[in-house]
Amino acid sequence: MNVRIESVHFKTDEKLIAYIENKLSKLDKYFDKIIDAHVILKLENSGKVKDKVIEVRLAIPGNDIFASETQKTFESATDIVTDTLKRLLIKRKEKMRA
């Protein structure tokens, strides 16, 4: 799976990129036809504590799958987004079998 990571108005460090790629690569266990993942990292300027936003769009045959999460850190947001994507991929795989 090809992972493209975009950060809006800031520079991401290599550890965060490696963390995101590692988490997303584990999704291949649940759905093996993932073409690529497009990740957008943003900082929200709302004055709230939770200001780190991650959006992930998985390109798969048929319709793409999208998930977004806002948390205090990009790592915790990545964990929640990958869990959401895992559930969505399992649901999509079940629909394909039926």
pLDDT tens digit sequence for 38-87: 999 999 876 677 789 999 999 998 889 999 999 999 999 999 999 999 99
Show contacts of 19-23: CB within 8 Å, 24+ apart. 19/75, 19/78, 20/54, 20/74, 20/78, 23/78, 23/79, 23/82
Burial of 58 (0-12, 13-18, 19+ CB in 10 A): buried
What CATH number does the domain containing 76 carry?
Answer: 3.30.160.100
Q: pTM of the full predicted structure?
A: 0.90
Domain that holds residue 77: 2-97
Domain count, the chain: 1
pLDDT for 95 beyond 90: no
